[in-house]
């Protein structure tokens, strides 16, 4: 490896894990971690939960204490953007005029909230939620008693709704699809979450297209296509995220809704790796091209890069997994839920603890567990090993999911 | 109070900790390698797996069902396995010794 060291662009969880992993593995060259925000690397998941509630402060979000980086000889450059990459000369140009050489470059540029191009989207008190500053601005704007309208019933929107309705706000969630969490969850789970939110007082409205945000300077209402209007003091838009691939594209890295990387997280240009939300990769276990937005994906890809750079054995590929905490209920998803799988219910949804197992040809492909941690853990093993199972035994709660009962031929 | 983290080969790192924090926070705050805590101490990821020194098993107590389920995902699970994010440091745990599994070192 070149003496010029490793430069990591993007100081989110992927970038931080590459940096700390290299330091831990005894990498001898320089490690430079460049972040756009003014904070040391931090965890984003609590922003819609503990941070909004006030349970967690900025300190509690940090991946490592700020002093860690200097201690491990990692140069952390905050509040700085990379203007351009020169792969020919192995260097990057920063917006502060500085130029840095690299032996290896790692792009961890993340994703950003998808913008809604509707009238009024630039009004005051209209937010999206991606980073600390967004979350702080929302927190500051939320009145003690007032009306919050959230556009989009994905994880961010619903987690925020759960946090805010608990604080006594009037919360409405407007969703374009026919059900909540439509992109990632099954209809059974969507229905459970809709009911749960409604029971807590959240007003969930599906099948609506937001037409415009009304107001002079600050937002006062949200108008949907059929003419209905919801008064609002604060609006948060949570309609998905877009991979930040502009920098990668500017140097000709192959991208397709994400920077394309191979199984060792290498991009199409030599000495340039990528990890996290900004990447698209054929998943080693699932053999599907995926762009995943998750902590687990970010850290797994980061550790793959460290292993590759340090000539260590590659970490074992894991089934992708996700979690969402809303109210006191934990949703854990393993694998990617797809409509062509056959869903099987395990447990009684009315009890508040159940799983939906998604099968293809007697093999488990994905699992959604609601307050069902053991199903989640054992289901991950079943998905990863692709063992043929008897579907009747999966429905029987007295039998653990793993190891599965031996298949016997009847008759 | 003080907590000692042993690497898989037995090298001790003794760190200062405050009552009320978790063993994971004590490790992270002091830059101890071998405790990852990817999920931020939420009992979600099992990357802060530790083996409790047998002398301390009684004081540390048992894992919750959620924690037990996550521990079950570890191939290096042992009888004294816990997740460091679920060990709250109370006064009686001053001097606690926790060993970190090899798999958490790159």
DSSP secondary structure string for all residues of A361-384:
TTEEEEEEEES-HHHHHHHHHHHH
Closest CA to A156 of A251, A253, A264, A294: A294
Same domain, A143 and A84: no
pLDDT tens profile A145-160: 899 999 999 999 999 9
| C-beta atoms of B105 and A24 within 8 A | yes
Which pair of structure tokens corresponds to residue A176? Answer: 């374009």
Residues A215-250: tens digit of each pLDDT: 999 999 999 999 999 999 999 999 999 999 999 999
For chain B, domains (ranges, CATH) are 2-104 (3.10.20.30)
φ, ψ of residue A330 to 5 degrees: the values are: -110, 125
Residues A283 and A335 in one domain: no
Cα dihedral value A216, A217, A223, A229, nearest 10: -70
Interchain CB distance below 8 Å, B70 and A303: no
Under an 8 A CB cutoff, do B39 and A323 touch? yes
Same domain, A355 and A284: no
Are residues A133 and A231 part of one domain? Answer: yes
Chain-chain contact of B69 with A72 (C-beta, under 8 angstroms): no
Tell me the backbone φ, ψ of residue A160, rounded to 5 degrees: -65, -40
- Closest-approach residue (CA) in chain A for B24: A64
B59: distance to nearest CA of chain A, Å? Answer: 25
Binary contact (B69, A374; C-beta < 8 A): yes
Residue A33 CA to residue B24 CA, distance in Å, equals 24
Q: Give domain status of residue A320, yes or no.
A: no
pLDDT band at A408; cut points 50, 70, 90: low
Q: Report the C-alpha gap between A396 and A171 in whole angstroms.
A: 38
Residue A400 lies in a domain: no
Q: Which residue in B has a C-alpha nearest to residue A305's C-alpha?
A: B106
Question: Is there a domain that residue A351 lies in?
Answer: yes
Instruction: Clarify whether residues A120 and A234 are in a common domain.
Output: yes
Chain A residues with CB-CB distance to B8 below 8 A: none
Residues A291-340 have pLDDT tens digits of: 999 999 999 999 999 999 999 999 999 999 999 999 999 999 999 999 99
Model confidence at A406: pLDDT above 90: no
Task: Identify which of A25, A71, A323 has the shortest CB distance to residue B106.
Answer: A25
The candidate with the shortest Cα–Cα distance to A187, out of A335, A358, A334, is A358
> Chains A and B: how many Cβ contacts under 8 Å?
60
Residue A65 domain boundaries: 6-112+242-309
- Separation between Cα atoms, residue B51 and residue B10, nearest integer Å: 12
As a whole number of angstroms, the distance between CA A207 and CA B10 comes to: 59
Whether residue A13 and residue B33 make contact (CB cut-off 8 A), yes or no, is no
Q: How far is A192 from chain B (nearest CA, A)?
A: 21
The mean pLDDT of chain A is 95
Q: Which tens digit of pLDDT belongs to each residue from B35-74? A: 999 999 999 999 999 999 999 999 998 999 999 999 999 9
Picking from B31, B66, B106, the nearest residue to A72 by CB comes out as: B31
Phi then psi dihedrals of residue A379, to 5 deg: -65, -35
CATH code of residue A266: 3.50.50.60
- A164 shares a domain with A260: no
> Do residue A304 and residue A337 come from a single domain?
no
Q: Are residues A95 and A155 in the same domain?
A: no
User: Is B69 within 8 Å of chain A by CB?
Assistant: yes
Calculate what percentage of chain B has a pLDDT beyond 70.
100
**Smallest CA–CA distance from B33 into chain A, residue:** A24
Q: Do B40 and A46 touch (CB under 8 A)?
A: yes
Beta bridge mates, A55? none
On average, the pLDDT of chain B sits at 94
Is A44 in contact with A129 (CB distance < 8 Å)? no
The ipTM (two decimal places) reads 0.93
Rounded Cα distance between B84 and A331, Å, is 22
CB-count burial class (<10 Å; 0-12, 13-18, 19+) for A212: middle
pLDDT mean over A267-296: 96
Tokens matching residue A344: 């099987």
Reported as a pLDDT band with limits 50, 70 and 90, residue B104 is confident
In CATH, what number is assigned to the domain containing residue A367? 3.30.390.30
- Of A126-130, A258-262, A407-411, B55-59, the range with the lowest mean pLDDT is A407-411
Is A16 a domain residue?
A: yes
Q: Which of A67, A71, A373 sits opposite B65 (nearest CB)?
A: A373
Q: Are residues A159 and A172 located together in one domain of the fold?
A: yes
Cβ <8 Å between B69 and A330:
no
- SS3 (DSSP) at A327: coil
- Residue at A95 is within a domain: yes
In chain A, what percentage of residues exceed pLDDT 70? 98
Q: Is residue A322 part of a domain?
A: no
Q: Is the pLDDT of residue A257 over 60?
A: yes
Q: CA A188, CA A349: separation in Å to the nearest integer?
A: 9
* pLDDT for the residue numbered B105: 81
Q: How far is B96 from chain A (nearest CA, A)?
A: 22
On whether both A171 and A129 belong to a single domain, the answer is yes
B31:A68 CB<8 A: yes
A392/B63 Cα distance (integer angstroms): 31
Indicate the number of domains in chain A: 3
pLDDT (0 to 100) of residue A1: 43
User: CB of A251 within 8 A of CB of A85?
Assistant: yes
A21 and A101 assigned to the same domain = yes
pLDDT at B100: 96
A3: confidence class by pLDDT, cuts 50, 70, 90: low
Residue A318 lies in a domain: no
- Considering the domain architecture, whether residues A127 and A231 belong to the same structural domain is answered as yes
| B99 to chain A, closest Cα gap in Å | 17
| pLDDT of amino acid A407 | 64
The domain boundary, picked from A207, A224, A239, lies at A239
Q: Which one of B33, B39, B106 has the shortest CB-CB distance to A295?
A: B39
- Determine whether the interchain pair B65/A376 forms a contact, defined as Cβ–Cβ distance below 8 Å: no
Cα–Cα distance measured from residue A322 to residue A119, given in angstroms and rounded to the nearest whole number: 34
- pLDDT higher at A38 or B103: A38
- Please indicate, yes or no, if residue A407 is contained in any of the structural domains: no
Average pLDDT over residues A18-25: 96
Task: Give all strands (DSSP E) within A216-297, no chain letters.
Answer: 219-224, 229-231, 234-237, 241-243, 259-261, 272-274, 279-282, 289-290
The reply to whether residue A378 touches residue B68, judged by beta carbons under 8 angstroms, is: no
Rounded to 5°, angle at Cα A10 from A8 and A16: 70
In tens, the pLDDT along A89-98 reads 999 999 999 9
């Amino acid at each position: 490896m070149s003496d010029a060291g490793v430069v990591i662009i993007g100081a989110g969880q992927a970038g931080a894990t590459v940096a700390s992993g290299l330091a831990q593995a005894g990498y001898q060259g320089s490690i430079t971690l460049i972040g756009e925000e003014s904070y040391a690397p931090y965890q984003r998941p609590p922003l819609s939960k503990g941070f909004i509630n006030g349970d967690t402060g900025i300190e509690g979000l940090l991946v490592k204490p700020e002093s860690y980086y200097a201690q491990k000889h990692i140069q952390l450059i905050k509040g700085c953007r990379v203007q351009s990459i020169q792969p020919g000369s192995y260097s990057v140009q920063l917006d502060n005029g500085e130029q840095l050489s690299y032996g290896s470059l790692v792009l961890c540029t993340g994703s950003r909230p998808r913008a809604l191009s509707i009238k009024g989207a630039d009004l005051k008190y209209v937010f999206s939620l991606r980073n600390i500053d967004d979350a702080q601005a929302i927190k500051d704007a939320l009145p003690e008693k007032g009306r919050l309208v959230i556009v989009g019933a994905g994880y961010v929107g619903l987690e925020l709704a759960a946090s805010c309705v608990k604080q006594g706000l009037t919360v409405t969630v407007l969703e374009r699809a026919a059900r909540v969490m439509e992109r990632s969850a099954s209809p059974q789970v969507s229905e459970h979450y809709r009911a749960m939110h409604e029971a807590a007082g959240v007003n969930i409205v599906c099948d609506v297209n937001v037409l415009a945000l009304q107001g002079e300077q600050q937002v006062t209402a949200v108008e949907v296509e059929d003419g209905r209007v919801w008064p609002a003091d604060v609006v948060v838009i949570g309609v998905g995220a877009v991979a930040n691939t502009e920098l990668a594209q500017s140097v000709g890295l192959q991208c397709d809704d994400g920077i394309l990387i191979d199984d060792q997280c290498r991009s199409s240009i030599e000495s340039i790796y990528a990890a996290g939300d900004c990447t698209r990769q054929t998943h080693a276990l699932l053999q599907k091209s995926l762009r995943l937005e998750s902590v687990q994906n970010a850290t797994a890809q980061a550790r793959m890069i460290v292993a590759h750079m340090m000539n260590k054995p590659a970490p074992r590929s894991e089934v992708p997994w996700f979690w969402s905490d809303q109210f006191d209920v934990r949703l854990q998803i393993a694998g990617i839920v797809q409509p062509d799988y056959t869903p099987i219910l395990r447990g009684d949804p009315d009890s508040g603890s159940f799983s939906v197992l998604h099968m293809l040809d007697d093999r488990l492909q994905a699992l959604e567990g609601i307050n069902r941690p053991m199903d989640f853990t054992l289901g991950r093993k079943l998905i990863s090993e692709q063992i043929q199972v008897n579907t009747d035994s999966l429905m029987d709660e007295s039998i653990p999911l793993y190891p599965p009962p031996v298949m016997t031929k009847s008759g | 109070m003080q907590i000692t983290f042993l690497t898989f080969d037995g090298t001790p790192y003794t760190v200062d900790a405050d009552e009320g924090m978790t063993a994971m926070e004590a490790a992270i705050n002091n830059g101890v390698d071998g405790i990852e805590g990817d999920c931020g101490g939420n009992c979600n990821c099992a990357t802060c797996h530790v083996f409790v020194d047998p002398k301390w098993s009684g004081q540390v107590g048992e894992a919750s069902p959620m924690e037990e389920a996550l521990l079950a995902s570890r191939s290096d699970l042992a009888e004294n396995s816990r997740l460091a994010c679920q060990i709250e440091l109370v006064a009686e745990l001053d001097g606690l010794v926790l060993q970190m599994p090899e798999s958490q070192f790159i």
